[in-house]
């Protein structure tokens, strides 16, 4: 249980989509779950048995929203749409695979691979702007639900920001942690800021693809 001054978050990346399997950059493009993703969402629901949450939120993009609705269908827990926790907007790279991006947009992909903090993909979001959006949204929920536990369905890029906030890792540092579909990721926010509790728990899953685009 969270203390009176601490908010605990369970953040879950959406279930698998066909574009995840193709390593195709989704960003704000609205892609639905595939059959494996739907099965993962059901497994999330089973894995949440025994946990209690004061509130649940989800990115309004279909892949996260459907994961949330399937996972909470038997829990009597209302899910509120939260556009703040949408995936990052990847600008001109949205809709292409990593390999296609290397060929079609070599300069853009170079910034993408380097995690250049202030680069916005020509018409998307810079990492700095994206991280500010995510952390501001989480901190607002930490105040609103102080002393409670909160469930959030979101995306790999959002989880990347959360892990770095909880561990103090720089935004442009190479990622050395995994972001599997439908895994459980627990962090808390209290008087001393963010703290990582546990990460990438896939014990309830048979299959989970890592987020390979960050």
Q: What is the mean pLDDT of residues 98-107?
A: 96
Residue partners of 206: CB distance under 8 A and separation at least 6: 39, 43
Contact of 158 with 87, CB cutoff 8 Å: yes
| Residue in 35, 51, 57 with CA at minimum distance from that of residue 138 | 57
Scanning the structure block, which residue is given the tokens 């290397």? 102
Q: What percent of the chain has pLDDT over 90?
A: 92
Q: What are the tens digits of pLDDT across the range 73-87?
A: 988 899 999 999 999
Q: Catalytic annotation on 125?
A: no
Q: What is the mean pLDDT of residues 59-67?
A: 98
pLDDT band at 4 (very low <50, low <70, confident <90, very high): confident
Q: Out of 87, 125, 188, 211, which one is annotated catalytic?
A: 87
Residue 213 scores a pLDDT above 50: no
Q: What is the mean pLDDT of residues 83-95?
A: 98
Q: What is the mean pLDDT of residues 183-204?
A: 96
Q: How far apart are alpha carbons 111 and 22 in whole angstroms?
A: 21
Q: Out of 14, 89, 111, 112, which one is annotated catalytic?
A: 14
Q: What is the mean pLDDT of residues 36-55?
A: 96
Burial (CB < 10 A; 0-12, 13-18, 19+), residue 92, is middle
Scanning the structure block, which residue is given the tokens 């990721």? 185
Q: Catalytic annotation on 14?
A: yes
Residue 126 scores a pLDDT above 80: yes
Q: What is the mean pLDDT of residues 177-186?
A: 97
| Residue in 87, 88, 67, 91 with CA at minimum distance from that of residue 79 | 67
Q: What pLDDT is attached to residue 20?
A: 96
Q: What is the mean pLDDT of residues 122-141?
A: 97
pTM of the shown model: 0.94
Residue 104 scores a pLDDT above 90: yes
pLDDT, mean over the chain? 94
């Amino acid at each position: 249980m969270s203390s009176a001054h601490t908010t605990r978050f369970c953040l879950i990346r959406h279930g698998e989509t066909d574009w995840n399997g193709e390593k195709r950059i989704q960003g704000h493009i609205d892609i639905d779950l595939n059959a494996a993703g739907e099965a993962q969402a059901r497994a999330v629901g089973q894995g949440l048995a025994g946990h209690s949450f004061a509130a649940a939120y989800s990115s309004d993009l279909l892949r996260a929203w459907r994961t949330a609705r399937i996972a909470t269908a038997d829990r009597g827990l209302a899910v509120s749409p939260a556009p703040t926790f949408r995936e990052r907007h990847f600008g001109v790279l949205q809709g292409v695979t990593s390999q296609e991006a290397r060929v079609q947009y070599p300069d853009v992909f170079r910034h993408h691979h380097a995690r250049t903090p202030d680069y916005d993909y020509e018409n998307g979001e810079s990492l700095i702007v994206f991280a500010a959006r995510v952390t501001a949204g989480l901190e607002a929920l930490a105040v609103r639900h102080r002393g409670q536990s909160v469930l959030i369905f979101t995306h790999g890029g959002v989880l990347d920001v959360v892990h770095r906030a909880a561990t103090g890792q720089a935004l442009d540092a190479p990622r050395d942690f995994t972001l599997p579909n439908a895994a459980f990721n627990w962090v808390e926010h209290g008087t001393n800021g963010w703290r990582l509790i546990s990460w990438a728990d896939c014990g309830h899953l048979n299959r989970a693809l890592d987020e390979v685009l960050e």
